[in-house]
Amino acid sequence: MSTPLLEVQHLTMRFGGLTAVDDLSFTAREREITALIGPNGAGKTTVFNCLTGFYRPSAGTMILHRGGRKYQLERMEGHRVARIAGVARTFQNIRLFVGMTLLENLIVAQHDELMRASMFSVAGLFGFSPYRRAEKAAVQKARYWLDRLELTASADLPAGGLSYGDRRRLEIARAMCTGPTLLCLDEPAAGLNPRESDRLNELLLSIRDQHRIGLLLIEHDMKVVMGISDHVVVLDYGKKIADGKPVEIQHDPAVIRAYLGEPEPSFETEPSASPRDEDR
Amino acid sequence: MTAEAGVAAPHRALPKSFAWGALVKDAAIGAAVALVLAVPLVGFRVVEINGDVTLTTRFTWVGIGVVSVFVGRLALGLWRGSRPAERKRSGALVAPLSRFGRRHATGVAWAGIGFAAILQFLPFTTRGTVDLATEILTYVMLGWGLNVVVGLAGLLDLGYVAFYAVGAYSFAITATTFGLSFWEALPIAGLLSALAGILLGFPVLRLRGDYLAIVTLGFGEIIHILLQNWTSLTGGPNGIGNIPRPGLFGLVFAASAPPGETTFHQFFGLDFSPSQRIDFLYYVVLALALIVNLFTLRLRRLPIGRAWEALREDEIACRALGINPTNVKLSAFAIGAMLGGFAGAFFATRQGFISPESFTFVESATILAIVVLGGMGSQMGVVLAAMVLVLLPELRFLAEYRMLIFGAAMVLIMIWRPGGLLSHRAPTILLHGARRP
Ligand SMILES: Nc1ncnc2c1ncn2[C@@H]1O[C@H](COP(=O)(O)OP(=O)(O)OP(=O)(O)O)[C@@H](O)[C@H]1O
Ligand SMILES: [Mg+2]
């Protein structure tokens, strides 16, 4: 088993009277895909927003290990979480820079390095060679991802013109261009057709195997979750109800109850719009 | 709504389901709005006869207005309903122009610069032409500066005139009190304006869209009021006079040189003519504008410029990529303000006299109109729009209707080309084809 990358302890997030995340603890590891699942409104996206500095949690700690150092994410601003701790994310409702080209999207993700290479624009303004080299390197990195997504031909077209599946994958590539230690993906397979979904699985598995990072995955599609994740955390009403290997989760009675009410479990179908009118 | 359905019909006759009811209702609503507006604006009039103030009414005018709105709206509805949608025709005049401009952007730019450079030697050029061209170029500079804030970073700034004013006044004050020349005081003016930009930037960092617009509008007014009332520094409503003119490497443009200096015409053995100074000022602003253009074009292709555009597109995504939105916004405000400050300094040196009257909201609105009309983010668009907005009121028979035409042009352009005259966005970097202008 690899070393822990992210340790979440007693994370709690309240919105007024609503406790969206309730005393949640879990661990994510390097070179593993940790899936965060749960019915609609379980608080999954809220966990991501806490992790990436968009929300300040009401209680709890989130510790990220990077290069032998520990970062307390709950104390950092959003942009520093991404830049310094290396937590990159995608959004449930894709957030690309739609007016900018694919290449530009991937270059903007490397802002920090380029900004330093351009000496806050001074060196860049005069086109000094260290900056030109840095820009070339950035283009190369972007090119690597474009090749990998098989989108190289559309590199100079606006991202807004991409198909839905390609947008999702470009958003992932953009997050990867920041050079993250932890990649958080919010429902990357939502709205994809089976073929696109397979390509996504391939991409995620190859990221896991080829880059030394951990992946945190929110997903409703059980085929994806069961197919590629190494470790699953199940949330219901903000509380963790199960935590373990996919096979264990599949047969956990508490999970089955949360997803389907009382009767038979059936993970072969996709319980993406899960019924949750049962009382609490 | 139903009238719209008729759009799909291939023939020109009115479709059977043509909704007269909806049409009449629409026209009636238009007329009602006209009535509500016209009664107070047109209906009543205060007249002064021999010192007595009386109120007269002009309800016939109101009636004419309301009826013409009703008829016009009805006619518009009929016209729309009866003809098939011809989307492609919209902006028939401008679209091919802009396509041409896009394809031959560099060529058009060089042609423009060449024309500007030899303008003075063209046969039809008079002193007035040069003056007008100088004014256009000042607005072009301002437009390019504001373009950084509004067009690239997407921060709606309604108080841009504030930085124009800060630049003009800091130049005027440093030049008159410390005896600095134009070229020495210019960087100081830019720096102080940039500082003002950062000062304004801080409180508005959290604001977006409408809220930002209102606060910047307020900032413009605050600066205006400050200029009017801080008499000891700014001279209040009397303004500041005797602002030094720029010289050319120590040569002054005057009939006779002050002791210890040489005049331009003496040095070159020419006869003195006041137009030498005007021509020189024109070249100064042309050079400044070109520098501003190069500077902003270059910045746009640097990480900072891409961050501006990314911020305009999606601030949240920027944060998730480790970009600090605060720094990006502040840098946009600072750079935009600095360029406005340069324009202000030039304005001050050209006029030789400045007062708060030159820095009112109308200026902000004009500069913003230039950016929006030109096409947000488009350098060439700004030039085009600045020409239109400065030249239109120059047509003598239109002078009285300046504001009316201004408004009508805005409305028409927003209908035909919502993105502005030239709304094409060129990528800042290309993977294929090393075509990097
Ligand atoms: N900013 C907020 N203010 C108030 N309530 C919020 C806020 N964000 C989330 N919530 C509430 O917290 C709960 C959890 O929401 P969250 O978006 O985390 O669910 P989710 O598990 O991501 O659901 P889904 O699968 O639908 O995306 C919901 O009841 C939601 O209404
Ligand atoms: Mg969610």
Residue for token pair 């902006």:
B91
| Ligand 1 pocket residue status of A40, Cβ below 6 Å | yes
B67-78 average pLDDT score: 87
| Interface contact flag, B320 A52, Cβ < 8 Å | yes
Residue B268: the pLDDT is 66
Residue B317: the pLDDT is 93
Q: Does A254 touch chain B (CB under 8 A)?
A: no
Residue B122 scores a pLDDT above 80:
no
Tell me the pLDDT tens digit for each residue of A202-229.
Answer: 899 999 988 889 999 998 888 888 888 9
Residue A133 is encoded by which pair of tokens? 């080299």
In whole angstroms, how far apart are CA A273 and each of A175, A197, A222, A232?
27, 18, 12, 19
Residue A138 scores a pLDDT above 50:
yes
- Calculate how far, in angstroms, residue A11's C-alpha sits from the geometric centre of ligand 1: 15
Give B310's pLDDT tier (boundaries 50, 70, 90): very high
Q: Does B295 touch chain A (CB under 8 A)?
A: yes
More confident residue, B17 or A87: A87
Residue B435 scores a pLDDT above 50:
no
ipTM of the complex model: 0.86
Residue A156, class by beta-carbon neighbours within 10 Å (0-12 exposed, 13-18 middle, 19+ buried)? middle
- DSSP characters for A157-207? SBGGGS-HHHHHHHHHHHHHHT--SEEEEESTTTT--HHHHHHHHHHHHHH
Alpha-carbon span B314 to B305, nearest angstrom: 14
First-residue to last-residue Cα distance in chain A:
37
Residue B335 is encoded by which pair of tokens? 């750079």
Tell me the pLDDT tens digit for each residue of B416-431.
Answer: 777 777 777 788 888 8
B103-247+273-416 CATH, one of 1.10.760, 1.10.287, 1.20.120, 1.10.3470: 1.10.3470
| Interface contact flag, B429 A95, Cβ < 8 Å | no
Residue for token pair 């389901």:
B17
For chain B, the domains span 16-90, 103-247+273-416
Residue B262: the pLDDT is 67
C-beta neighbour count of A149 within 10 angstroms: 19
Residue A49: the pLDDT is 92
- Calculate how far, in angstroms, residue A89's C-alpha sits from the geometric centre of ligand 2: 13
Beta strands in chain A (DSSP E): 4-15, 18-29, 33-37, 59-66, 69-72, 87-89, 182-186, 214-218, 231-236, 239-244
More confident residue, B89 or B107: B107
A132-136, A178-182, B22-26 — most confident range: A178-182
Residue A191 scores a pLDDT above 70:
yes
Residue B13 scores a pLDDT above 60:
no
- Calculate how far, in angstroms, residue A18's C-alpha sits from the geometric centre of ligand 1: 10
B44-68 average pLDDT score: 83
The SS3 call for residue A68 is: coil
- Calculate how far, in angstroms, residue A220's C-alpha sits from the geometric centre of ligand 2: 10
| Ligand 1 pocket residue status of A46, Cβ below 6 Å | yes
User: Mean pLDDT for chain B?
Assistant: 80
Residue A3: the pLDDT is 72
- Report the residue of B295, B299, B321 to disrupt the A interface, i.e. the one with the largest count of A CBs within 10 Å: B321
Tell me the pLDDT tens digit for each residue of A17-61.
Answer: 898 888 999 999 988 899 999 888 889 999 999 999 899 999 999
Tell me the pLDDT tens digit for each residue of B343-360.
Answer: 999 999 888 888 888 888
Tell me the pLDDT tens digit for each residue of B356-411.
Answer: 888 888 888 889 888 888 877 778 888 888 888 888 777 767 667 777 777 787 78
A100-110 average pLDDT score: 92
All residues of chain A having their beta carbon less than 8 Å from the beta carbon of residue B300 are none
User: Ligand 1: which residue has its CA nearest to atom 5?
Assistant: A15
Please state the atom number of ligand 1 nearest to the C-alpha of residue A46: 18
| Ligand 1 pocket residue status of A38, Cβ below 6 Å | yes
User: Cβ neighbours of residue B263 under 8 Å, at least 6 residues apart?
Assistant: B251, B252, B253, B254, B255, B256, B257, B272
CATH architecture of the domain with residue range A1-78+214-264: 3-Layer(aba) Sandwich (3.40)
User: Mean pLDDT for chain A?
Assistant: 84
Tell me the pLDDT tens digit for each residue of B227-281.
Answer: 888 888 888 788 887 777 776 666 666 666 666 666 666 666 666 667 777 778 8
For chain A, the domains span 1-78+214-264
Residue B432 scores a pLDDT above 80:
no
Report the alpha-carbon angle B381-B385-B390, nearest 5: 150
Residue B136 scores a pLDDT above 60:
yes
Length of chain B in terms of residues written = 437
